[in-house]
Amino acid sequence: MATGFKKFRQRFGISAPKVAVRTHVPWYLRWLLLAVLLAFSVALAAWMYDAGRRFAGFDRSEVQDELVNLRSELDSTRGELSKLRAIANAAESKMSIERTAQTKLAQQIRLLEQDNARLREDLAIFESMISADSGGAQALSIQRLKVEPDGLPGEYRFKMLLLTGNRRDRGDFQGRLELLVGVQQEGRNAIIVVPDRAAVDAPAFKLAFRNFYRVEGTFRVDPKAKVGTVQVRIFETGAAQAKATQSVTLGS
């Protein structure tokens, strides 16, 4: 009996265990409250950060305005650059046209110089013909003989002017041209006849003219051979002896 009373006092007496009464809060309200507190904290932190930057002299709005101004200036600069490029292209195109015109003008000048030289040659020819007529000369002569290397190795170009006296009573001069080319190769000297005997009747070396005739042609030798002298011989048809000869030394 005493033991039961003692247990009753321990449960409902002064020494009985304390009971706490708490109000039940739903879980979604707890999460909502936590989200509000988190948002408030973030906003407060942002405000403090922005206030700190303004206090330190940094203003976002001013920076944005400056950025807008810089972008506007960049667009304006790009526009000016495009205009300058267009002007430069136009100037370059104009310069190209002028260079083309200068090139054409230089070509025309060269052609005129060649024509002028040809006219001087023609004048000298007619003067020679007049002099020959006044003296009654009938001889064939070789004038302005030139021999020089051409574009390809071993190829040479020759030029000359053939003159005769008054042949009105004798008709056209009929004949052929022959070259004796002196070459040196591997320490030995040799003479090459152009054209060779097999092509002695080659059309390029036949002659038919009345008073004067310009001759121009090419011949080839071994590229390793060195041409020293070239002798030109003019034969009249049916004659065994040359009517006119002239020699030229290359490099002289």
CA-based nearest residue to 218, from 181, 164, 175: 181
Across the chain, mean pLDDT equals: 79
Note the pLDDT of residue 252.
54
Q: At residue 245, does pLDDT exceed 60?
A: yes
| Cβ contact 228:182 at 8 Å | yes
**How is residue 200 annotated by DSSP?**
T
Note the pLDDT of residue 179.
93
Note the pLDDT of residue 74.
87
Q: At residue 230, does pLDDT exceed 90?
A: yes
What is the C-alpha separation between 202 and 87, in angstroms, rounded? 62
Q: At residue 7, does pLDDT exceed 90?
A: no
What is the C-alpha separation between 150 and 250, in angstroms, rounded? 13
Note the pLDDT of residue 8.
54
Record: fold of 141-249: Immunoglobulin-like (2.60.40)
Q: Which helix (H) or strand (E) segment is 244 a member of?
A: strand 242-249
DSSP-assigned letters across all residues of 161-183: EEE----TTT--EEEEEEEEEEE
Note the pLDDT of residue 117.
83
Note the pLDDT of residue 33.
79
Residue-wise pLDDT for 196-229, tens only, equals 776 656 777 888 888 788 888 899 999 999 999 9
35 against 165, higher pLDDT:
35
Residue-wise pLDDT for 92-103, tens only, equals 888 888 888 889
Note the pLDDT of residue 249.
92
What single-letter amino acid sits at 5?
F
What is the C-alpha separation between 11 and 248, in angstroms, rounded? 151
Residue-wise pLDDT for 101-114, tens only, equals 889 989 999 988 88
Report residue 55 as tokens.
């206090």
Other Cβ atoms within 10 Å of 54 Cβ, number: 13
| Cβ contact 223:154 at 8 Å | yes
Residues β-bridged to residue 216: 159
Note the pLDDT of residue 248.
92
Q: At residue 137, does pLDDT exceed 80?
A: no
Residue-wise pLDDT for 153-205, tens only, equals 899 999 988 888 665 656 788 899 999 999 998 889 999 998 877 665 677 78
